[in-house]
Amino acid sequence: MFATLRQPTTQSSLITYSPKKPAFSKAEQLHFLPCLPSTKNPEIPTIFSIKKPLHVSSISQRKSLGVECKAYEANQSQPLEINIELPSAQSEAAQRVKIGIYFATWWALNVVFNIYNKKVLNAFPYPWLTSTLSLAAGSFMMLISWATRVADPPKTDMEFWKTLLPVAVAHTIGHVAATVSMSKVAISFTHIIKSGEPAFSVLVSRFLLGETFPLPVYLSLLPIIGGCALSAVTELNFNMTGFMGAMISNLAFVFRNIFSKKGMTGKSVSGMNYYACLSMLSLLLLTPFALAVEGPQVWAVGWQNAVAQIGPNFV
């Protein structure tokens, strides 16, 4: 039987072995448990210190989700109570439902974002500004969340931002390239090409990082590559700029994931705050390029044309 002894800051695995000669009744046979290793940091508080072997005297099921285990040290008669938390089927099911809700919400919001993004680009075909405004909106929302304490602000230092910089560069390139692609071709075509990102990930990891994968992984890429190629050949309104934008976006996001995995491992920043910091740094990187490539004068003319074409619609 495998169990876990929970302490305030550490967890130690306890493994029970076959019983020795019974010194108790058959219902309370002794089991030997190995000594727990002492913590490396003496300042970390623990419930108790164990320097001798423990012997289990009784195990009982509690009303709550867990098991109460009574034990004593080799040269002590006073029992120690050990609470062993066991996983619950209900908690695991609730966790799966929670993850499913998150996934469905992300998917639905992503669909809405792509539809409205395409509507904006049809009337106002300036993807650099559109990309900049998307990052600005996300950054502004997170700043409000931090200011109102809806979300706890992250604790970062200069080293964190230096490590985040290459991730932000790749994220900026991928974000702009995808928006440029959507401004030139249909949303469906852009996302069909972007579905080839797993193939890019495997190829980059294989040839640049030297990682190897099982044969089924390589075989699973054939339908993806074939589907993307078939879609590109049969696309009625094929546009090379839109196609290359989606391909560049795939490659950039692969490098973003690689940089993030290598550089940000061990950083104590939550996923939401990490993406918020990434969006803010990408916004700083993208803004000067958007001004240089398109610029306020071009945007002003485009805004007037959009208003004349569809009116000042905001929904």
Give yes or no: residues 72 and 118 share one domain: no
Establish if 73 belongs to a structural domain. yes
- Please tell me the total count of domains within the chain: 2
> In the prediction, which pLDDT does 105 show?
94
Establish if 174 belongs to a structural domain. yes
Give yes or no: residues 50 and 128 share one domain: no
Return the HEC string of 79-111.
Answer: CEEEEECCCCHHHHHHHHHHHHHHHHHHHHHHH
Q: Are 256 and 167 in contact (CB under 8 A)?
A: yes
Choosing from 52, 85, 118, the residue where a domain stops is 85
Establish if 62 belongs to a structural domain. yes
> In the prediction, which pLDDT does 208 show?
81
CA–CA distance, 290 with 298 (Å, rounded to integer): 11
Establish if 98 belongs to a structural domain. no
Give yes or no: residues 179 and 266 share one domain: yes
Give yes or no: residues 177 and 274 share one domain: yes
Give yes or no: residues 65 and 197 share one domain: no
> In the prediction, which pLDDT does 314 show?
59
Give yes or no: residues 127 and 24 share one domain: no
> In the prediction, which pLDDT does 84 show?
58
> In the prediction, which pLDDT does 7 show?
42
> In the prediction, which pLDDT does 32 show?
43
Establish if 99 belongs to a structural domain. no
Establish if 13 belongs to a structural domain. yes
Give yes or no: residues 130 and 21 share one domain: no
Give yes or no: residues 289 and 194 share one domain: yes
> In the prediction, which pLDDT does 191 show?
86
Give yes or no: residues 142 and 221 share one domain: yes
Give yes or no: residues 178 and 54 share one domain: no
Establish if 209 belongs to a structural domain. yes
CA–CA distance, 106 with 109 (Å, rounded to integer): 5
Give yes or no: residues 76 and 118 share one domain: no
Q: What is the mean pLDDT of each run of 10 residues along the chain (315 residues)?
A: 42 41 45 46 48 54 53 54 64 88 92 90 93 95 94 88 93 95 90 87 84 88 87 81 92 91 76 92 96 92 87 64
> In the prediction, which pLDDT does 246 show?
92
Establish if 21 belongs to a structural domain. yes
> In the prediction, which pLDDT does 72 show?
53
**What domain range is 292 assigned to?**
110-302
Give yes or no: residues 169 and 218 share one domain: yes
